[in-house]
Amino acid sequence: MNQDAKVTAPTRVLRVALLGCGTVGRQVAGTLLDKAEDLAAKAGCHLELIGIAVRNVNKPREGIPPELLTDDAAGLVANGGADIVIELIGGIDPPRELIVSAINHGASVVTANKALLAAHGEEIYAAAEKNRVDIYFEAAVAGAIPIVRPLRESLVGDEIRSVMGIVNGTTNYILDKMTNDHQDFEEALATAQQLGYAEQDPTADVEGYDAAAKAAILAGLAFHSPVSGSDVFREGITSVSTADIEAARASDCVVKLLAIAKIDEHDRISVRVHPAMVPYSHPLAMVNGPYNAIFVEAANAGRLMFMGPGAGGSPTASAVTGDLVTVARNRMRGVVGPAHSVYQAHQLAPMGETRTRYYVRFRVADQSGVLASVASLLAKHHVSVHSIRQTPIEDGREAASARVSMMTHEAQESDMMVCLEELEKSDYVLGSVRLMRAEGA
């Protein structure tokens, strides 16, 4: 190569408006301001930050020129002449109105807003397609982990059969502390909050709302059908006990909060979020701390694993900046990226018709015939037992009792729920019955 050759610097400018200047927004703004030449070389144009919409323009923000700040987000979007709008406010309103306004004014959009896309994605995708602009959202699902683009582009010629993953770092950290440090849920949550892995109000994470929104997005991408957050069965981790953790350990499993999207035998989509026992042999079992991982099974590509930091300022900003460069390249070429594909119309399978395996634990009167009665009850409802163990309980009580723990073969959820109800009503079961789903066999 001629050492005297000069690289021609990009001359065209694209104007970028940023909505939100929190942890992620500050890092994105810093990249646009401090690494402008590097971004220009990658994008093929200069990316000029024309404004940052915030609630309080008087709040000091280190490294951010005050003249860029505005509290008029609607005006910045509608009247600023932005080519690209980056939405990092979060929540449903006002981001919904701002994004639609940006699209209708001809701007492409980059967002990390999973709640909005899960609730109103179809409206936003349709607006983007109508106006021939991009909507990119890699950061909305798993932080820095590239999963949206592989599903939307790399694997589009394949047939996705299932997507299963750990998509919430907060809950994975909590369950990891419960497993490895023997903390109970409240202790593990407090540790996560102290370290900044959990919000002071952790409801969205620990009750599964965050993961459900991401599961809806993943299901829509994987199966080319409209799926909203309300379509996702959701169960959080607040009821997971140390006894559940130890039961999983005894079964060579670990408890994880999983987001699962599958096509069933009737060509319907099953989408759910719940704690599950995962065997040590499965790759997801080894994903620890605040990390995320997504396990994809495709007809031709086989099994694929995507893993990395799923939250935090730097990982999320990395995904946002990557989308920004891609969108800028598209605009420079006068093209748009792949539209959100919803050419299929899969029906949604009711949770009661979902099939999986179950771990069940309960206390019984320690007397002959109990296990036979349990097996008979399960068989009546088409539930087959894979393994069963009965352990005597010595707690000083007069009446002898034993703890029964068992793992079923794959069964239908509605059948298992009937068994659960009848077990709790039976004369030989003492107290409540604890059930946990098992995945990844």
Residues known to be catalytic: 214
Q: CA-to-CA distance for 284 and 287, rounded, in angstroms?
A: 5
Q: Taking phi first (over 0 means left), then psi (-120 to 50 degrees means alpha), and beta for anything else, what does residue 307 get? A: beta
